[in-house]
Amino acid sequence: MKNIKIVYEYDGSKFSGFQRQVNKKTVQGSIEEVIKNYFNEEVNLLSSGRTDKGVHALGQVSNFFMEKSISPDIIKGILNRALSGKIRITDAKEADSDFHARFSAKTRTYLYIMKLKDEITPFESSYVSALDGKIIPEKLQKIMEPLIGRHNFDSFRKKDKDNKNPEREINNIRCYEEDKRLFIEIEGKSFLKTMIRIMIGSALAVYFEKRSPDYICDKLDNPDSDGEKILAPSEGLYLYKVNY
């Protein structure tokens, strides 16, 4: 039995999220269906993370086990032809038998892209989030700095029965501007459900003075899974890269 590792990108606007769902088109379901149809094998895709509906990926990583001895290059070619325009496999190789795309990951980095609302073209609207006003990256960076480190992030997640431990560690947050777009990079070992979007939504609310300057610190000091959650839109979020 071979353990096949794939690295790939996808357009989240074309799917109802990542995880397999009955009667809905998802990233996981689409890949598994192609493998079943072309190679007559039912596989279970093990992945570095599960993105929400509308969230994209530039470097998602998955692995699956196959009984047939098929070249990873052939698998890559078949998947790319069958899923053209929606999912693109950038690398496929045989991995060690103990490799697990989720549990072997050391860090994950997410990227969030924003642009002034009146400058977004129709071709960008599903891939960048709209800003009502100009943002100074250094000022936003300072607002987000308290999130760096190990904290109880109960106030920055949606409830998830699969993840009962609310503690997570953020290694780095970087805000910068390029080509009239604002970028936020967030790196950590792992993240809770919708955690990235709530972190960014909260920071933007503070920046535009819709919440107090102490809003984020208060949320960290008083974890509350039932409290207010301010979500940034999904279309600007990308799973950027996973390090092993």
> CA torsion sign, 140 to 145 to 150 to 152?
negative
Residues 168-218 pLDDT 10s: 999 999 999 999 999 999 999 999 999 999 999 999 999 999 999 999 999
List, as one string, the DSSP characters of 20-78.
Answer: --TTS--HHHHHHHHHHHHH------EES--PPTT-EEEEEEEEEEESS---HHHHHHH
Question: What's the mean pLDDT in 68-91?
Answer: 96
Q: Which of 52, 73, 91, 96 is catalytic?
A: 52
Q: Is the pLDDT of residue 163 over 80?
A: no
Predicted TM-score (pTM) of this structure: 0.94
Q: Please, which residues have CB within 8 angstroms of residue 53's CB and are 6 or more apart in sequence?
A: 12, 15, 16, 17, 234
pLDDT at 110: 98
Share of the chain above pLDDT 90, in %: 95
52 is catalytic: yes
Residue 130 one-letter amino acid? A
Q: What is the mean pLDDT of residues 45-50?
A: 96
Q: Give yes or no for residue 51 having a pLDDT over 90.
A: yes
Is residue 190 a contact partner of residue 108, using CB atoms and an 8 Å limit? yes
CB distance 236 to 129 below 8 Å = yes
Mean pLDDT, range 152-164, rounded to an integer: 85
* Residue 64 confidence (pLDDT) above 80: yes
Same fold, 2-95 and 107-243: yes
- Computed over every residue of the chain, the mean pLDDT equals 96
Confidence at 159, pLDDT banded by 50, 70, 90? confident
Mean pLDDT over residues 162-168, rounded? Answer: 85
CATH of domain 2-95: 3.30.70.580
Amino acid code (one letter) for 15: F
Whether domain 107-243 has CATH 3.30.70.660: the reply is: yes
The H or E element spanning position 221 is helix 215-221
User: How confident is the model over 101-145, as pLDDT tens digits?
Assistant: 999 999 999 999 999 999 999 999 999 999 999 999 999 999 999
**Per-residue model confidence (pLDDT) at position 161:** 65
DSSP, collapsed to helix, strand or coil, labels residue 224 as coil
Domain boundaries, the chain: 2-95, 107-243
**E strand or H helix at 56:** strand 56-66
User: What is the longest distance spanned by two Cα atoms in the chain?
Assistant: 59
Residue 158 has pLDDT above 80, yes or no: yes
Q: Which of 20-24, 125-129, 231-235 has the lowest mean pLDDT?
A: 20-24
